[in-house]
Amino acid sequence: MSRLSLHSISKSYGAIQALSRVSLAVEPGEVLGLMGDNGAGKSTLVKIIAGNFQPTNGEIRIDDQPASFHNPRDAQRHGIEVVYQDLALCDNLSAASNVFLGRETMRRLGPLRYIDYASMNRVAAGLFRQLKSETRPRDLVRRMSGGQRQAVAIARTLLSEPKIVIMDEPTAAISVRQVAEVLDVIRRLRDQGISVVLISHRMPDVFGVSDRIAVLRRGELVCSKRADRSSPEEVTGLITGAIEAA
């Protein structure tokens, strides 16, 4: 049984074919490293899985059940969470508000409903502890370091006990020490049985944590194989087109 499987996903914008017939599967507790050059279709694929775009053709299955997402909340309801490349944080809101953005905890007071900041802060503090981050829930994101912002973005995905976490370039803009922390977090997610799709340009990071490697080139899937049967050299060849397919 695959946790997430894509069947012949295509996406075109007018005459431009961003993705053509991509089929891919991720097992429970598996880390899939998704690689490809700029414009290869990685971000489009992520946005289709996350419910931001609808595919032109093809089918998404979650636990072998067909699923279709009209917006990010549909995907979240199916247990899919995304850490976006630019982290998608609001600088003027607190860490806890960012974690809960779009699904704030509400309390009732007669006919009125209001945001329960106390409980949001409590839950966010627990998530930051779980991630071993020293981020404090009440702090504004504007004043945070790159690593702390990363923690906020990752904590957001853990809010709903996700099945699949997609990370778009999570190690692109942080220090070496913080990269190691993020990779640790990915391993911890995997150990909890969560499937992770890691999109990255950084070969050592991908080979450091991935169980399987998939490569996109010009909208087509040219490789999907076990990481220990591949090598950085082969993947580089696949990305650039020096190797046709593997």
Partner 1 sequence: MTTLEDVIARSEHRSWLSRISSQQLFWVFLAAVLACLALSILTDSFATERNLFNVARNFAFVGIIAIGMTAVIASGGIDLSVGSTVVLSAMVISSTMEAGMPFLLAAPLAPAAALLVGLLNGALVAYAGMPPFVVTLGTLSAARSLAMVLSDNKMIWNFGPDHDLLIWVGGGSTLGIPHPLYVLAALALVMSLAFTWTRWGQHLFAIGSNENAALLTGIPVRRMKVSIYMFSALTAGIAGILMAGWLGSVTTNLGQAMELTVIAAAVIGGANLAGGEGNALGAVVGALLIEVIRNSLILLGISTFWQGMFIGTFIVVAVAFDRVRHFRS
Q: Are 57 and 12 in contact (CB under 8 A)?
A: no
Residue 230, C-beta contacts closer than 8 angstroms, at least 6 positions apart: 213, 223, 246
By beta-carbon proximity to partner 1, the closer residue of 113 and 229 is 113
Q: How far is CA 107 from the centre of its chain?
A: 30
What proportions of the chain, in percent to the nearest 5, are helix, strand and coil?
A: 35, 30, 35
Shortest Å, Cβ 244 to partner 1: 35
Query: How many whole angstroms separate alpha carbon 218 and alpha carbon 129?
Result: 41
Candidates 88, 118, 242, 245: give the one binding partner 1 (CB under 8 A): 88
Q: Is 205 exposed, middle or buried (0-12, 13-18, 19+ CB in 10 A)?
A: buried
Q: Which of 102, 108, 110, 111 contacts partner 1 by CB under 8 A?
A: 102
**From the list 84, 194, 215, 235, which residue makes contact with partner 1 (rule: CB under 8 A)?**
84
Interaction residues for partner 1, span 35-74 (CB under 8 A)? 50-52, 71-73
Contact region with partner 1 (CB under 8 A), list: 59-67, 99-107, 171-179, 235-243: 99-107
Which H helix or E strand runs over 173? none
Binding residues for partner 1 restricted to 143-202, rule: CB under 8 A: 143, 156
- Contact positions vs partner 1 (CB under 8 A): 50-52, 71-73, 76, 82, 84, 86-93, 97, 101-102, 104, 106, 113-115, 142-143, 156
